[in-house]
Structure 1
Amino acid sequence: MVKKKSVKLDAINRKILATIHLQSDITNARLAEIVNLSPAACSQRTKALRDAGYYFNCHSEVDLDRICEHVIAYVEFTLRDNSPACRQRFEAAIEEIPEFMDCLRLAGDTDYISFTCCSNVKELNRLCDELSGDESLGISRVVTRVVVDRPKFYLGYPIEKLKWY
């Protein structure tokens, strides 16, 4: 990984990051108003923060229930062998499957958990079977937890509640 240039996270840069984290479609003019800078200065700071890697992706949340059939699930994976080589093989395989949208390595009796979205349960099962059936990945156990309701959506990290560096 290439080390990126650091940018000082002063109060204005922290406010820029906290704002664009929750409002990725905000205009530069509106962001400049919020952080009390000129549009040019705000644009320079935002570009510097992005170039330094402090934020790297912007997307919009869509209402899947209104646009397509789908099933959302958390899938837990336990590996037979927790060696670096086995973990690397598993992580490379999961990286190639877009339906596995987020994958976290855990401490405890489960090695990984992935947030998953598939067209239906049959497709979810097929993908899990494909992964667990690949002996080179060393998966000993797969637990699928289908989401039946989503009363709260992830709307960003609580940046303002965290301790900044």
Structure 2
Amino acid sequence: MRLDRTDRKILDLMQNNGRISNLELAEQVGLSPSPCSRRVKALEDAGLIAKHVTLLNEKKLNLNLTAYIHISMDRHTPERFENFQKIISAYEEVMECALVTGTDADYQLKVVVRDMEHYQAFLLGKLTRIEGVTGVRSSFVLQQVFSHTALPLSQIK
């Protein structure tokens, strides 16, 4: 799907305000509501809009500890990786999981928990029990300087 200027504007506005009404969105992009709604539906159907979410405030929910964890695996086989990914995707503490390169780790996880006690329970009770995990290195966020959820649409051709 080729994106024109209006599509990009729609995506930009929706990334920054997921609760924007169709009427307000249409006004801001210079369309009437029906064509705007059809464009949003087309963007959804094309998979460019993956889903609509509400971002919660971790601190207000007493989820005070964020860790980035590097995981090393014993074998680099599709079966080993599939098993790890299936298990790790079921853990609610894991916000992100990426297969990475450039380090001695195979995966990088972003984990959010209440405190160090809960992190230890997650680490020892879940993470290190996954078959094939041979190394775990954790780094803890001292201060979240900034975090974006909006993608850089100016880079799209």
Letter in 1 for 2:156: K
Deviation string 1:74-95 (CA, Å, 9 cap, x unpaired) is: 1111111121111101110110
Instruction: Report what 1:110 is aligned to.
Output: 105
Instruction: Report what 1:120 is aligned to.
Output: 115
Q: Bigger shift: 99-108 or 124-133?
A: 124-133
SS in 2 for 1:37: coil
Paired with 2:84 and 2:63, the residues of 1 have a C-alpha distance of 28
Q: CA deviation at 1:140?
A: 1.2
**Identity between Structure 1 and Structure 2 (%):** 26
SS in 2 for 1:154: coil
Letter in 2 for 1:20: M
Instruction: Report what 2:127 is aligned to.
Output: 131
Which segments of 5 or more consecutive residues in structure 1 lack a partner in the other structure? 1-6
Contact 2:71-2:137 within 8 A present in 1 as well: yes
Instruction: Report what 2:62 is aligned to.
Output: 68
Instruction: Report what 1:34 is aligned to.
Output: 28
Which segments of 5 or more consecutive residues in structure 2 lack a partner in the other structure? none
Paired with 2:116 and 2:153, the residues of 1 have a C-alpha distance of 35
Deviation string 1:116-136 (CA, Å, 9 cap, x unpaired) is: 1112212222222222123x2
Paired with 1:63 and 1:42, the residues of 2 have a C-alpha distance of 31
Instruction: Report what 1:20 is aligned to.
Output: 14
Displacement over 6 Å in runs of 4+: none
SS in 2 for 1:92: helix
Paired with 2:61 and 2:96, the residues of 1 have a C-alpha distance of 21
Q: For this pair of structures, how many residues does the alignment match?
A: 155
With structure 1 as the length reference, what TM-score do the two structures score? Answer: 0.85
Q: CA deviation at 1:28?
A: 0.8
Paired with 1:121 and 1:15, the residues of 2 have a C-alpha distance of 42
Paired with 2:63 and 2:77, the residues of 1 have a C-alpha distance of 38
